[in-house]
Amino acid sequence: MTYPYQVTDFAGYELAYKRSIEDPEGFWGDIAANFTWKRKWDKVLEWDFLRPEIKWFNGGKLNITENCLDRHLEHSGHLPAIIWESNNPEEHHRMLTYKELHFKVMQFANVLKNNGVKKGDRVCIYMGMIPELAIAVLACARIGAIHSVIFGGFSAQAIADRVHDARAEYIITSDGAYRGAKDIPLKSVIDDALVGDHTVKRVIVSTRTRTPVSMIKGRDVWWEDEIRKVETQGNPFCAAEEMDAEDVLFILYTSGSTGKPKGVVHTTAGYMVWTNYTFVNAFQYQPGMVHFCTADIGWITGHSYIVYGPLSAGGTTLMFEGIPTWPDAGRFWEIVEKYKVNILYTAPTAIRSLMGFGLDYLEGKDLSSLKVLGTVGEPINEEAWHWYNKHIGKEKCPIIDTWWQTETGGVLISNWAGVTPAKPTFATLPMPGVQPCLVDDQGNEIEGNGVTGNLCIKAPWPAIIRTTYGDHERCRQTYFSTYPGKYFTGDGCLRDEEGHYRITGRVDDVLNVSGHRIGTAEVENAINMHAGVIESAVVGYPHDIKGQGIYAFIIYSGTHGDIQLSKQDIVQTVSRIIGPIAKPDKIQFVPGLPKTRSGKIMRRILRKVAEGDFSNFGDTSTLLDPSLVEVIRDGRV
Ligand code: PRX
């Protein structure tokens, strides 16, 4: 497969960018013409950010799996689509060619149909990183069902909230998942999530760990049994459902500054074009390259750059079940050597963590296949950037720093490998079609270079969020009302003298812990569930490896006396309500929280205490009880 829209020099990037702004419809129409459509679109773009209503390629009909699978069969059917590396280095790897993946997706799509799943139905998927996860995702898309993947680290309660919000009647899971030294009993977590539930009709369970599970009669079926039924039915074919360009492809839940996670909705055609275009251009993917994105498919990075981007480009995507530090910190490097990985895309947290293990684990590893390195999910610090460049890229691989969000569907700001200039810690320049701007708190646009502000985007790109599932008003309020007429990212940003963008972190109450987004309100709600907690406030603080750690200030009335045990109980509660990723790193019991007379918590003060910066608490005169500040400061943990 070739990519006529792949740009390979800076002048080409500038030209593409210019045309994408002056003539977006012509620009994206030309790119979209390279895909397989069942019917051409009537209009490339219609939009109104105030409602918001955004339609790309309206009137077009297609199925994304024909673009990810069928269209590659003739020339690339024998080529590897997915290479899978087990958590266990001793276990044999798996490889699925395009032909095999196509077959398996159709087979499982028939399983879904046999089990009553129809176009538009929501299917929650809660699995580990095994090829069946990708197959399940694509099988949903094949028949027009809407997938909502839930990261395997979320708790039963978090699953229940998501299943309920998506009004999902179908769940796909596994008996368990391997992650490093741990076995995660996925099916049992699903069972806990579904206690008292009467809406889920079917749970399809694939076999991975052979952990004992309880299969509920009439509701639960085994993946493998259902495949055998399809085999005996004899027809391996499953036609790709004709989807409107704007039909929903998937829902993915993400945290925001209010308590409840929201279901970010992406639609079919725009998302497909965007993930493909950004994959081919930012990473400079060439046919035959092995692309290793270390994210989990439970996050947007996995959706866009393990599944849809690489497969729509006919590429080879590597899926890794395990974690970077197990059985030891050389795991990534073994994988790079074993599969001659060409592109490595990972999070700064992983880089910092591996950096901490020293260079011994790199000893004797052949990383010479690497051509491009990427980072995503959080700001990368200089030290980690240089380590990645020197020890992994051997100073010959461009590093792309890709800034984007669940809501943006794919990369919005990034350098392009070897094509546009890289600058450590900078995401640098916008993708074609992306018009970033910085605004002050009053919403005035800040012009010129060498300035900082809140990052907004002025016009839609094809993979912009369309709505938040079941609550369009929430989408409008969260992203389109703070600065009317603009999409607000929630991030702070610097535009340097050269016009390059550097993302400085969230400006709202959202934390970024190890590249995972966690809302402070969500953690507070979970902490407040603990019987002894009266009130809590959560802030982030700089953490050497995770980027940000979670610091909780808690007013506690528990009586059983052992402070350490009480803190552990609270951590346990958060783990139960959200999942281990949201566990507070530090807990401080306080007699009160610094509130203004109107009852608002002055988080600025808490942040300073958490950071250990006592230099200047600013004006505290509006506090109800200014003396609390000293008490909290002195009790810092
Ligand atoms: O704060 C930004 C940070 O991650 C947020 C988006 O999180 P999520 O929706 O979970 O998606 C993560 C994977 C795309 C952003 O608002 N972020 C993401 N990439 C970068 C980043 N911050 C700095 N540099 C990046 N490259």
Check residue 477 and report its DSSP letter: I
| Average pLDDT of the segment spanning 72-77 | 97
| Average pLDDT of the segment spanning 592-603 | 92
Q: Residue 503 Cα, ligand 1 centroid: separation in angstroms?
A: 9
In-domain check, residue 4: no
pLDDT computed for residue 617 by the predictor: 87
| Average pLDDT of the segment spanning 624-630 | 92
In tens, the pLDDT along 271-325 reads: 999 999 999 999 999 999 999 999 999 999 999 999 999 999 999 999 999 999 9
> Domain boundary at 241, 267, 282, which?
241
Query: Ligand 1: which of 278, 378, 454 to mutate, most ligand atoms within 8 Å of CB?
Result: 378
- What are the residues facing 449 on neighbouring strands? none
Q: Residue 578 Cα, ligand 1 centroid: separation in angstroms?
A: 20
- Return the residue whose CA atom lies nearest to atom 13 of ligand 1: 377
Strands 94-97 and 80-85: antiparallel
- What are the residues facing 325 on neighbouring strands? none
- Provide the 3-class DSSP secondary structure of residue 7: coil
Is residue 259 predicted with pLDDT exceeding 80? no
Domain range spanning residue 520?
A: 510-634
| Average pLDDT of the segment spanning 327-341 | 98
Q: Which of 82-91, 311-320, 618-627 is the least confident region?
A: 618-627
- Return the residue whose CA atom lies nearest to atom 22 of ligand 1: 378
Cβ neighbors of 608 (< 8 A, separation 6 or more) are: 614, 617
**Cα–Cα distance for residue pair 315/280, rounded to 1 Å:** 10
pLDDT computed for residue 33 by the predictor: 98
Contact between residue 223 and residue 194 where contact means Cβ atoms under 8 Å apart: no
Q: What is the mean pLDDT of the chain?
A: 96
Per-residue pLDDT band for 44 (boundaries 50, 70, 90) equals: very high
- Can you tell me which atom of ligand 1 is nearest the CA of 504? 23
Q: From the CB of 510, is ligand 1 less than 6 Å away?
A: no
In tens, the pLDDT along 366-409 reads: 999 999 999 999 999 999 999 999 999 999 999 999 999 999 99
**Cα–Cα distance for residue pair 305/346, rounded to 1 Å:** 11
pLDDT computed for residue 493 by the predictor: 98
Q: From the CB of 348, is ligand 1 less than 6 Å away?
A: no
pLDDT computed for residue 362 by the predictor: 98
- Return the residue whose CA atom lies nearest to atom 7 of ligand 1: 405
Q: From the CB of 454, is ligand 1 less than 6 Å away?
A: no
pLDDT computed for residue 619 by the predictor: 86
Q: Could you give the number of structural domains in the chain?
A: 2
- Can you give the C-alpha Rg of the chain in angstroms? 24
Closest CA to 259 of 469, 605, 483, 538: 538
Q: From the CB of 298, is ligand 1 less than 6 Å away?
A: no
Is residue 561 predicted with pLDDT exceeding 80? no
**Cα–Cα distance for residue pair 206/223, rounded to 1 Å:** 5
> Domain boundary at 207, 241, 275, which?
241
pLDDT computed for residue 615 by the predictor: 85
In-domain check, residue 563: yes
Q: From the CB of 490, is ligand 1 less than 6 Å away?
A: yes
Q: From the CB of 518, is ligand 1 less than 6 Å away?
A: no
Q: Residue 517 Cα, ligand 1 centroid: separation in angstroms?
A: 8
Q: From the CB of 500, is ligand 1 less than 6 Å away?
A: no
- Return the residue whose CA atom lies nearest to atom 21 of ligand 1: 378
Q: What are phi and psi of 589, to 5 degrees?
A: -80, 130
pLDDT computed for residue 582 by the predictor: 96
> Domain boundary at 206, 241, 276, which?
241
Beta strands in 482-574 (DSSP E): 487-495, 501-506, 510-513, 516-519, 533-543, 547-556
In-domain check, residue 520: yes
- Return the residue whose CA atom lies nearest to atom 24 of ligand 1: 379
In-domain check, residue 348: no
pLDDT computed for residue 621 by the predictor: 87
- Can you tell me which atom of ligand 1 is nearest the CA of 516? 10
Check residue 524 and report its DSSP letter: H
- Can you tell me which atom of ligand 1 is nearest the CA of 402? 26
Q: Where are the alpha helices (DSSP H) in 402-548?
A: 472-475, 520-528
Q: Residue 156 Cα, ligand 1 centroid: separation in angstroms?
A: 26
Per-residue pLDDT band for 163 (boundaries 50, 70, 90) equals: very high
Give the CATH number of the domain where residue 590 resides: 3.30.300.30
Q: Residue 403 Cα, ligand 1 centroid: separation in angstroms?
A: 6
Q: Residue 1 Cα, ligand 1 centroid: separation in angstroms?
A: 30
pLDDT computed for residue 257 by the predictor: 81
Q: From the CB of 508, is ligand 1 less than 6 Å away?
A: no
Q: Residue 634 Cα, ligand 1 centroid: separation in angstroms?
A: 34
Q: From the CB of 379, is ligand 1 less than 6 Å away?
A: yes
In-domain check, residue 234: yes
Is residue 36 predicted with pLDDT exceeding 80? yes
Per-residue pLDDT band for 616 (boundaries 50, 70, 90) equals: confident
- Provide the 3-class DSSP secondary structure of residue 331: helix
Give the CATH number of the domain where residue 230 resides: 3.40.50.980
Q: From the CB of 304, is ligand 1 less than 6 Å away?
A: no
Q: Residue 37 Cα, ligand 1 centroid: separation in angstroms?
A: 32
Q: Where are the alpha helices (DSSP H) in 460-528?
A: 472-475, 520-528
| Average pLDDT of the segment spanning 4-32 | 98
Q: Residue 515 Cα, ligand 1 centroid: separation in angstroms?
A: 7
In-domain check, residue 599: yes
In-domain check, residue 602: yes
- Can you tell me which atom of ligand 1 is nearest the CA of 503? 23
Q: From the CB of 427, is ligand 1 less than 6 Å away?
A: yes
By CB neighbour count within 10 A (0-12 exposed, 13-18 middle, 19+ buried), where does 58 fall?
middle
Concatenating the DSSP letter of every residue in 43-103 gives EEEEEETTTTEEEEEET-EE-HHIIIIIHHHHHHTTSEEEEEE-SSTTSPPEEEEHHHHHH
By CB neighbour count within 10 A (0-12 exposed, 13-18 middle, 19+ buried), where does 347 fall?
buried
Q: Which of 177-186, 427-436, 554-563 is the least confident region?
A: 554-563
Closest CA to 65 of 239, 207, 235, 224: 239
pLDDT computed for residue 131 by the predictor: 98
pLDDT computed for residue 295 by the predictor: 98
**Cα–Cα distance for residue pair 504/24, rounded to 1 Å:** 29
Let me know how many helices (H) and strands (E) the chain has, helices first: 20, 31
Query: Ligand 1: which of 376, 405, 518 to mutate, most ligand atoms within 8 Å of CB?
Result: 405
Per-residue pLDDT band for 256 (boundaries 50, 70, 90) equals: confident
Sign of CA dihedral 310, 311, 316, 318: positive
pLDDT computed for residue 1 by the predictor: 73
**Residue 468 host element (H or E):** strand 467-468
Q: Residue 456 Cα, ligand 1 centroid: separation in angstroms?
A: 14
In tens, the pLDDT along 496-523 reads: 999 999 999 999 999 999 989 999 999 9
In-domain check, residue 157: yes
pLDDT computed for residue 173 by the predictor: 98
Q: Residue 434 Cα, ligand 1 centroid: separation in angstroms?
A: 16
Question: What length is written for the chain?
Answer: 637
Closest CA to 209 of 248, 246, 255, 178: 178
Is residue 560 predicted with pLDDT exceeding 80? no
Percentage of residues in the chain having pLDDT higher than 70 = 100
Contact between residue 4 and residue 13 where contact means Cβ atoms under 8 Å apart: no
**Residue 22 host element (H or E):** helix 10-22
Q: From the CB of 512, is ligand 1 less than 6 Å away?
A: yes
| Average pLDDT of the segment spanning 19-37 | 98
Kindly report the pTM of this predicted structure. 0.97
Q: What are phi and psi of 193, to 5 degrees?
A: -65, -30
In tens, the pLDDT along 221-234 reads: 999 999 999 999 98
